[in-house]
Amino acid sequence: MKILLGNGNLLVYVDRFSQLKDFYFPFAGQENHLGKREHKIGVWCEGKISWLGEDWQTEINYKKDTLVGRIIAKNDVLGIELEINDVVHYKNDIYIRKIVVKNLRDEKREIRLFLSQYFNIYETDTGNTAYFNPKKNAIIYYKNNRYFLISSSKVFDDYAIGKFNVYGMKGTYIDAEDGELSKNAIDHGTVDSVISFHLPLEKKSEAVVYYWIAAGKKHGEILELNDHVLKNKPENLMAETEAYWKNWVSRIKLDIDEDILNMVKRSLMIIRVHADNRGGILASTDSEILKFYRDSYNYIWPRDAAFAAIALDDAGYSDLSRNFFIFCNKTITDEGYFLPKYNPNYSVGSSWHPWIKYGKLRLPIQEDETALVLHALWKHYEKTQDIMFIKSIYKKLITKAAEFLVNFREKNLTKESYDLWEEKFGSHAFTACTVYAGLVAAANFAKLLKRVYEYKKFSDAAEEIKQGIKSDFYDERNSMFFRRIKNRDFEILKETKIDSSTGYALHEFVFDANDEILTKEMNTIKERLTCKTDVGGLARYEEDGYYRVSKDTPGNPWFICTLWLAQYYIKIAKKLSDLEEAKKILKWTVKYASSTGLLSEQLNPLTGEQVSVSPLTWSHSTFVETVFRYAKKAETMKNTR
């Protein structure tokens, strides 16, 4: 259980014990300045300290319709309760925490509150410096062009700075165990720090401490931010941030069940947190996966981000989707394609796709990513009608990408690339469908701008791809579509493995959902990919081994794939009651969200426990898109009865 807070520059993860687990700056999802140890909270009383952990009963959530965290931590043995609120200021790069310390006993007591800090600046533990600035009542960490200032509303009574994880030293926080700190004022290398507050409390009384971390690229920046907090008061900055988020989601007005509506609002805020202010929309900023794979989802996959942009446009946040397309305009290659993933600073992300395969040069791409950016961009134009923006990116982004899609073909089929799941190499049904959609979008733009030659080229190529999908991907014998038909040098490979993405792409981009040709396809997907357990949900494809929990299921259920089925139900609904199956899936999604409203990538099909990264932006954007489609279809049916 965790919450995440952010403003597009600063992104912070907080766990259920109020420990800061991740601290990204100055990009959402890039440069995690926490590494080997989280920031901890400790309470000292009756001669001993207790760090918040398993001995504490905790509740964690957000305040309704906000990105304001609320944690209640109670220790019955100590007779202490903490109520903690966390925010990242909506505009300034400041993390602020309010801690209310409550004495639950009928006696006067001296309680000491300890807060420990550790920064792994630039994700390395060498060359860091931390020092105490008595003039500012602050601990300041810095290295190169990254500065972090820690201060509080109450002058802290004690402090210590020292070595961590070197020469057998566990960390300066150990110094707090006797209730006193050394007042060592500076250290360098791998360093941590602790500050403390002496809080004499009458019986059944409480004390409040405000604490903040200002992040900047220069020393002067963090001093200015600190002065801003002191001048405007931390409680006011927290209140204005709470008001900002309530106003931000207030535009979402849907005639739908309250639990689904609340989840839509939460999902949009999660997407916003992952939308870096330079335009990239990150797949996930959950660092837990690093423990297993030594890499993360902290990248911009153009495909995932394109779906997020569509959801943002549906909800009326076109400024954010526009930023994403500007990001795409800056990152598209000269050849007109996107590489698999990018960092928020426009650089290319890590990859496992080789540039040589079967002894020949192969582009290490997932072609659907290039196509889906064009598709999402047309959706964006339909919402905004901003023709000047389209003109500004037409030549570099739209034309380049479309020309690539036209040329990256073999007869009526797309050339080989990796599939959307980043596993198989070849010619895939999902990819072909997205290329068709991308070329249709490009043709629409060309027609809009009266580019007659380009309109004909793009529309003709789109029609050829569509005919290729119908003729080459369709398995007449089984009345189904092949998942993949070619791999090495277009060697024939008609793969019949059922994949949820195949059915989705066919009804989303190419065929009318009510077309008979799709009925068996979708019924087979539902029958063979549904996890027949109490949890339910749809797997990606048959025998999916990624984090697979049980061989008795086709794979783990994915939120995305299950919601795709809901989108199909919405499309084929003829009357209001036909929408019930889709609504059940929306309710299912809400049920298996975390207690803080986060959607993971997958679920354990036996327990419903979240599996892999959480949150996954794509899960949230698919939920948002599905709900808006449901609400629109329901409204249409109500008005035509």
Tens of pLDDT, residue by residue over 587-639, are 999 999 999 999 999 999 999 999 999 999 999 999 999 999 999 999 998 87
pLDDT band at 490 (very low <50, low <70, confident <90, very high): low
- Residue 288, pLDDT score: 80
* CB burial string 486-496: b at 16+ within 10 A, e below: bbeeeeeeebe
Report the DSSP pairing between strands 158-163 and 191-201: antiparallel
| DSSP 8-state assignment for residue 63 | P
DSSP 3-state assignment of 119?
A: coil
pLDDT mean over 175-204: 93
In the predicted structure, residue 487 carries a pLDDT above the cut 80? no
| DSSP 8-state assignment for residue 187 | E
CB 633 within 8 A of CB 573: yes
Determine the Cα–Cα distance for residues 586 and 589; give it in Å rounded to an integer.
Answer: 5
- Residue 289, pLDDT score: 75
The per-residue pLDDT for range 142-157, each reduced to its tens digit, is: 999 999 999 999 999 9
The first and second tokens of residue 513, run together, are 């959902």
The per-residue pLDDT for range 301-348, each reduced to its tens digit, is: 999 999 999 999 999 999 999 999 999 999 999 999 999 999 999 999
The per-residue pLDDT for range 360-381, each reduced to its tens digit, is: 889 999 999 999 999 999 999 9
pLDDT mean over 426-435: 97
In the predicted structure, residue 291 carries a pLDDT above the cut 60? no
pLDDT band at 410 (very low <50, low <70, confident <90, very high): confident
pLDDT band at 292 (very low <50, low <70, confident <90, very high): low
Determine the Cα–Cα distance for residues 560 and 501; give it in Å rounded to an integer.
Answer: 10
Ordered by where they begin, the domains of the chain are 2-247 (2.70.98.10), 251-639 (1.50.10.10)
The per-residue pLDDT for range 261-275, each reduced to its tens digit, is: 999 999 999 999 999
Torsions phi, psi for 418 (to 5 deg): -85, 150
Length of the chain: 641
pLDDT mean over 441-464: 98
Strand order in the sheet with 94-103: 57-62, 69-75, 80-88, 94-103, 206-216, 146-152, 138-143, 128-133, 186-189
The first and second tokens of residue 535, run together, are 């949890």
Other beta carbons within 10 angstroms of residue 451's beta carbon come to 18
Average pLDDT value over all residues in the chain: 95
CA angle (105 as vertex; 102, 109 as ends), nearest 5? 75
CB 160 within 8 A of CB 153: no
Contacts of residue 500, defined as CB under 8 A and 6 or more positions apart, other chains included, come to 525, 529, 538, 539, 540, 541, 558, 561, 564, 565
Q: Amino acid identity, residue 637?
A: M
Rg of the chain, C-alpha, whole Å: 27
The secondary structure element, H or E, covering residue 603 is strand 602-603
